Structure 1
Amino acid sequence: MTTTEIAAAADQGSWLSTLVDAVVGLMDVIGPYGAGVAIAAENLFPPLPSEAILPMAGLAASRGSFALWEAVLWTTVGSLLGALLLYGIGAWFGVDRLRRIAARLPLVDAKDVDRTVAWFEKHGGKAVFFGRFVPIFRSLISIPAGVVRMPLWRFALLTTLGSLIWNTAFILVGWYLGEAWHIVEQYMDVVQNVVIVGVVAAVVWFVVVRVRAQRADRRAEQADGAEVPAAD
Structure 2
Amino acid sequence: MWGTAADADGSADNLTGLVGFAARGIEQLGEWGVGAFTLAETVVPPIPSEVILPLGGYLARQGDLNLLLIYFTSTLGAYLGALFLYWLGAKLGLERSIRGLSKLPLVDREDFEHAAHWFRRHGRSSIFFGRLLPGVRSLISLPAGASGMPLGTFTLYTLAGSGLWNGALIGLGYLLGTQYRLIEEYSRYLNYAVYAALGITVILLVLRHFKRQRIRR
Instruction: Mark yes or no: TM-score above 0.5.
Output: yes
Task: Choose between structure 1 and 2 for higher RCO, CA contacts under 8 A separated by at least 6 residues.
Answer: 2
Instruction: Map 1:71-150 to 2 at 5 A.
Output: 71-95=70-94, 97=96, 120-150=119-149
Higher helix share: 1
Question: 2:25 maps to which residue?
Answer: 22
**Structure 1: distance between partners of 2:99 and 2:24:** 43
Question: 2:4 maps to which residue?
Answer: 2
- Cα distance change, pair 17–93 in 1 and its aligned pair in 2 (3 A): farther
1:86, distance to aligned residue in structure 2 (A): 1.6
TM-score by length of 1: 0.63
TM-score by length of 2: 0.67
Q: Is the 8 A contact 1:135 1:192 kept in 2?
A: no
Moved more, 50-59 or 128-137: 128-137
User: Across the two proteins, how many residue pairs are aligned to each other?
Assistant: 193
1:130, distance to aligned residue in structure 2 (A): 1.7
1:55, distance to aligned residue in structure 2 (A): 1.2
Question: 1:169 maps to which residue?
Answer: 168
Question: 2:105 maps to which residue?
Answer: none
Per-residue CA distance 1:55-96 (angstroms, 9 max, x = gap): 121112112234422222221111111111121112121147
Moved more, 58-67 or 16-25: 16-25
**Structure 2: distance between partners of 1:143 and 1:160:** 16
**Structure 2: distance between partners of 1:167 and 1:53:** 10
Question: 2:69 maps to which residue?
Answer: 70
Letter in 2 for 1:169: A
1:159, distance to aligned residue in structure 2 (A): 0.9
**Structure 1: distance between partners of 2:34 and 2:80:** 13
Q: Is the 8 A contact 2:12 2:24 kept in 1?
A: yes
1:191, distance to aligned residue in structure 2 (A): 11
Q: Which runs of 5+ in 2 are unaligned?
A: 101-111
Q: What is the identity percentage for the equivalent residue pairs of Structure 1 and Structure 2?
A: 36
- RMSD (Å), alpha carbons: 4.0
- Cα distance change, pair 70–148 in 1 and its aligned pair in 2 (3 A): same
Which of these two proteins has the greater Rg computed from alpha carbons? Answer: 1
Q: Is the 8 A contact 1:36 1:74 kept in 2?
A: yes
**Structure 2: distance between partners of 1:99 and 1:57:** 32
**Structure 2: distance between partners of 1:74 and 1:65:** 15
